[in-house]
Amino acid sequence: MKSSEGSPREADMATSQDTESTPVVSQDELRGMIPQESIWHYRIRKFDVRTQVGRLAVIFSLWWLWWSETIWDGWDAISLFGIQPFPNVSPVFRASPGATWDYLIEFLPESLFWQDAWVTMKEALIAFIIASVLGVVAGIVLGNFQRVAKIFGPFIILINAMPKIAFLPLILVVYGVGEMSKVVLAVIIAFFIVQVPTQAAVSLVDPDLVTVARTMGASNHQIFRMVTIPAIGPAILGAMRLAAIISVQGAVFGEIFAS
């Protein structure tokens, strides 16, 4: 009895004929079908003209307020709950942009400025390195070991909630008014900027990835190196970028009160 559906060989031949009859579009032809954006349109779109114009408007507005000294004369008509946000500033404590520029031109060539700037940058750099290393290590340990996090977590939260200026008298008693006191203060401030995001990133690593890695026979070291580190890398880099700024602020803050 002959089958009405035909033999498998006939079906394969029909499929091959359909495939041969279908026109094959090359990659270059396919790229030509897509509307191409000119390089100038691409640059303008990436430049974001509206955003740049808005930034320039803000800069020129602030420059005009400074140059005209309008903001220093005080705006008595503006009051928030009895507080004047723009009080009158004495001429002794204000200067025009021209006077400020002349002072910078006169002061920048002096070696004392660059020596002081180098000391501040050195303090900030040392504090940034120490805070980053300690913050990453503490965040990884607290994120991986829940019992350790339960023991030390309340103390870390308490210290992080305290105003860091409260540590300055104790730091001055222990380290004096030298460079080390500024480094320690900057480390205390920047440490939590790295530790908290690192711990949160470790705690939020996808458990399915860990399960798959264990199923494939990965050891704890391999899971940490191939799963945990790639997962928490962006969070650590973002925290370190912010910690770099905070380290400079901490060093300058310490120099203001302990120099």
pLDDT tens column, 141-183: 999 888 999 999 899 999 999 988 888 889 989 988 888 999 9
Q: Where are the domains of the chain?
A: 39-107, 111-257
Is a pLDDT exceeding 70 seen at residue 55? yes
State the Cα–Cα distance between residues 137 and 195, nearest whole angstrom.
8
State the Cα–Cα distance between residues 39 and 147, nearest whole angstrom.
56
SS3 label, residue 83: strand
The matching CATH number, chosen from 1.10.3720.10, 1.10.287.610, 3.40.50.150, 1.25.40.10, for 111-257 is: 1.10.3720.10
At position 5, the amino acid (one-letter code) is: E
Q: What's the pLDDT at 2?
A: 47
* Confidence band, pLDDT 50/70/90 cuts, at residue 37: low
State the Cα–Cα distance between residues 87 and 89, nearest whole angstrom.
6
State the Cα–Cα distance between residues 152 and 159, nearest whole angstrom.
11
Q: What's the pLDDT at 1?
A: 46
- Range of lowest pLDDT (1-10, 55-64, 93-102, 205-214): 1-10
What share of residues in the chain are helix, strand, coil (percent, to 5)? 75, 0, 25
Which residues, other chains included, contact 160 with Cβ-Cβ below 8 Å and sequence gap of 6+? Answer: 192, 196
> DSSP readout, 47-81?
HTHHHHHHHHHHHHHHHHHHHHTTTTS--TT--BT
Long-range contacts, 96-103 (Cβ 8 Å, 24+): 96/66, 96/67, 96/69, 97/63, 97/66, 97/67
* Confidence band, pLDDT 50/70/90 cuts, at residue 28: low
